Amino acid sequence: MENIEVRENRIVLSGLADEAASDLPTQIAVHRELGWDHIELRLVDGQNIAGQLPDEAFEKAAAELEESGISVTGFGSAIGNWSRSIKDSFEIDLQELRTAIPRMHRLGVRYIRTMSWLGDGVEESAWRDEAVRRYRELAAMAEDGGVFLAHENCTGWGGLNAGNMLRLIEEVGSEHVVVLFDIGNTVSHGFPAWEFYEGVKGQIRYLHVKDCVVNPEGGRSERFRYPWEGDAMVREILADAVVSGYQGVISIEPHIASVVHDSANDPSPQFMRESYVKYARMLEEMLRDIGVPAGS
């Protein structure tokens, strides 16, 4: 597979493919339809590629990817995510990373998406201390394995604000912990988009594109939209990132047809595929407008 060290010398378009289809052959086919030769993996047939998918199924998936020529830009793991509390056993997360690292090596993957656990009523200082402690251990594993923990601005102590994300990285003290900035998660979680972006701008190593409409009553919003149809300043942030020298992955996570953490969400395969392709084409057009060739 293509080495990600080389890929990062330019803008690479990718996407969380389980929002296009549940099965890997269709995920690959959709990216081929787009003309994209990169993909971000999370769920394959409803099972997380990083730690849940059985070994035999992973080997089959790896063979399909190798045959297709599609390269994998990242794993969307469940480490520290919205399904896991700071009160839960840390061994679950450790085992997931142990499983993920050799799989990442097999597929040439450098980044694994992580978060920093639900607080679950724990006092914030204790939540912070335990999140930092856990991340130090995960970071040591990542260093040994030659991969990077990409903390997303989503669930967890580190996702509460830009200051927390930077403090988490500083206190963990590892070059193998970086920021995965999801543009739409700002508005979705009730934060000002530009303020959050500027706060972490210097640490961003991976970008997710999502857009969302502000909740008029304040707080969280689930009103996701196509790029630049919401309030997350997607175009402005992408333009600033590119002008400022960002080189790396720009990956779509539309949340138009499929939202992984919404169990009531059951879109048709046709709507998943069509909305994903539409989202990707809208992103390409936006990037052309700001000076990035489509299909980079």
Given this model, what pLDDT does residue 292 score? 84
Model confidence pLDDT, tens digit, residues 82-92: 999 999 999 99
Mean pLDDT (whole number) for 219-238: 96
Contact 122, 87 (CB under 8 A): yes
pLDDT of residue 294: 56
Strands 71-76 and 47-48: unpaired
pLDDT interval class at 4 (50, 70, 90): very low
- Under the banding of pLDDT at 50, 70 and 90, the label for residue 10 is confident
| Other residues' Cβ atoms within 10 Å of the Cβ of residue 156 | 26
Tokens at 289, concatenated: 């407008």
pLDDT tens, residue by residue, 114-171: 999 999 999 999 999 999 999 999 999 999 999 999 999 999 999 999 999 999 999 9
> Mean of the pLDDT values across residues 45-53?
97
Asked if pLDDT for residue 25 goes beyond 70, the answer is: yes
- Is the confidence at residue 269, as pLDDT, over 70? yes
Query: What pLDDT is stored for residue 144 in this prediction?
Result: 98
**What integer pLDDT is reported at residue 7 of this predicted model?**
42
Residue 9 has what pLDDT?
A: 57
Q: What is the three-class DSSP state of 21? A: coil
> Using 50, 70 and 90 to split pLDDT, how confident is the model at 2?
very low
Between CA 20 and CA 260 the distance in angstroms is 12
Question: Is pLDDT larger for residue 258 or for residue 176?
Answer: 176
pLDDT at 285: 96
pLDDT, residue 3, reads 35
Please report which confidence band the pLDDT of residue 258 belongs to, taking 50, 70 and 90 as the band edges: confident
Q: Is the pLDDT of residue 106 over 50?
A: yes
Q: What average pLDDT is seen over the chain?
A: 94
75 neighbors 101 (Cβ within 8 angstroms) = no
Q: Are strands 211-212 and 224-225 parallel, antiparallel or unpaired?
A: antiparallel
pLDDT value, residue 259? 72
Structural domains of the chain, with CATH: 4-289 (3.20.20.150)
Question: In this model, does residue 8 exceed pLDDT 90?
Answer: no
Please answer whether residues 14 and 36 qualify as being in contact, where contact means their C-beta atoms are separated by less than 8 angstroms: yes
152: its two tokens: 């997303």
Pairing of strands 204-209, 177-182: parallel
Percent with pLDDT over 90 in the chain: 91
Question: For position 261, what pLDDT does the model report?
Answer: 53
**Beta carbons of 233 and 284 less than 8 angstroms apart:** no
